[in-house]
Amino acid sequence: MKLTMNLSIAAIAAVLLTGCATNDQESSNSVVNTDSITHKTLKATRSFKKGDRVPNDEVCMVNNTYMGKKQLKVIVNGLAYYGCCKACEERIPTDESVRKAVDPHTTKLVDKAKAYIVLLNEGGDVAYFENEQNYVQFLKQNELKI
């Protein structure tokens, strides 16, 4: 009986620690807070710093997190989106909100597949800009030193 209970607890813990965020996320580009250790602690294979552009294919576009390695590619309407796990891979084609983000400079809705993606912090959070010019203008207007 104890063994069965311990195995059940271990199985639940494993799911909670390795699963992706499947909560609804608004198109306002808010970051999903997950219990998944891999989303926030994965070390980058290349050394990107805050403010650097990161490769689109190394970003989980569901969790808006730079993962430091190639992600699962999902093609929707001829455009490439990326997710970190099976749940993200399944969500991308069915949930348009995870394929869009708000450009912080213009507040326009942009397609993540076409976005200029910038690393915001060491935790891997990213921001999506319509293009590099918007990012540069955003930095100038906000006097950010990244």
Q: What is the pLDDT of residue 115?
A: 98
Q: Two tokens at 130? A: 């319509």
Tens digit of pLDDT at every position of the chain (146 positions): 444 434 334 333 333 334 454 443 333 333 333 333 333 434 444 688 999 999 999 999 999 999 999 999 999 999 999 999 999 999 999 999 999 999 999 999 999 999 999 999 989 999 999 999 999 999 999 875 55
Instruction: Fill in the DSSP letter of residue 5.
Output: H
| Cα–Cα nearest to 82, from 94, 68, 72, 95 | 72
Q: Specify whether the CB–CB gap between 116 and 130 falls below 8 A.
A: yes
Query: Please, what's the b/e burial string for 64-88 (b: 16 or more CB within 10 A of its CB; e: otherwise)?
Result: bbbbbeebeebeeeeeebbbbbeeb
Q: What is the pLDDT of residue 145?
A: 54
| Cα–Cα nearest to 122, from 50, 60, 62, 73 | 50
Q: Specify whether the CB–CB gap between 93 and 65 falls below 8 A.
A: no
